[in-house]
């Protein structure tokens, strides 16, 4: 089950991207693998003649919902004005995956790096005389390099 998609993962994953959770499902009539990584959510479908990959950046996901039946469940991902419905997921996997994605988004949005706010904090320290012009410039350069 999903061996073709799992074999294709190394060529799809970005550098430093780590798989956190995965489950089987159907998206746009293609059977494949739904993968949550530390960077994004990816749906992969591989056949003998084609490879289809669709990804959803965590910062573009506005909402996620799931539903379960007796055996199978569905996940709906709302991202950048689009609605992606992944169906036919094993019941407990649908809930686990949706809750994982929801928690990951929540945790990362709370810790999101805001360059403007950080530079404003530095400017305030400079105004208060806590740091000088050179220190301000060095710290600002380090913040920009983080981006």
Low-confidence ranges of the chain (pLDDT < 70): 1, 109-114, 146-147
pTM: predicted TM-score of the whole model, two decimal places:
0.73
List of long-range contacts for 50-55, beta carbons under 8 Å, 24+ apart: 51/8, 53/12, 54/27, 54/84
Q: What is the pLDDT of residue 77?
A: 96
Q: What is the pLDDT of residue 143?
A: 76
At residue 115's C-alpha, the angle toward residues 125 and 110, to 5°, is: 105
120 vs 111: CA distance, rounded Å: 17
- The CATH fold assigned to 3-110 is PH-domain like (2.30.29)
């Amino acid at each position: 089950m999903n061996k073709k998609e799992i074999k294709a993962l190394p060529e799809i994953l970005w550098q430093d991207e780590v798989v956190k959770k995965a489950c089987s499902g159907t998206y746009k009539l293609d059977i494949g693998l739904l993968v949550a990584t530390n960077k994004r959510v990816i749906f992969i479908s591989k056949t003998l003649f084609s490879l289809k990959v669709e990804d959803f950046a965590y910062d573009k996901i506005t909402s996620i919902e799931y539903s379960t039946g007796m055996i199978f469940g569905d996940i709906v991902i709302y991202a950048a004005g689009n609605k992606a419905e992944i169906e036919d997921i094993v019941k407990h996997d649908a809930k686990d995956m949706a809750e994982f994605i929801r928690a990951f988004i929540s945790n990362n949005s709370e810790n999101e790096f805001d360059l403007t706010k950080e530079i404003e904090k530095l400017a305030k320290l400079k105004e208060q005389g806590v740091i000088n012009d050179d220190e301000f410039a060095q710290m600002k350069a380090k913040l920009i390099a983080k981006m």
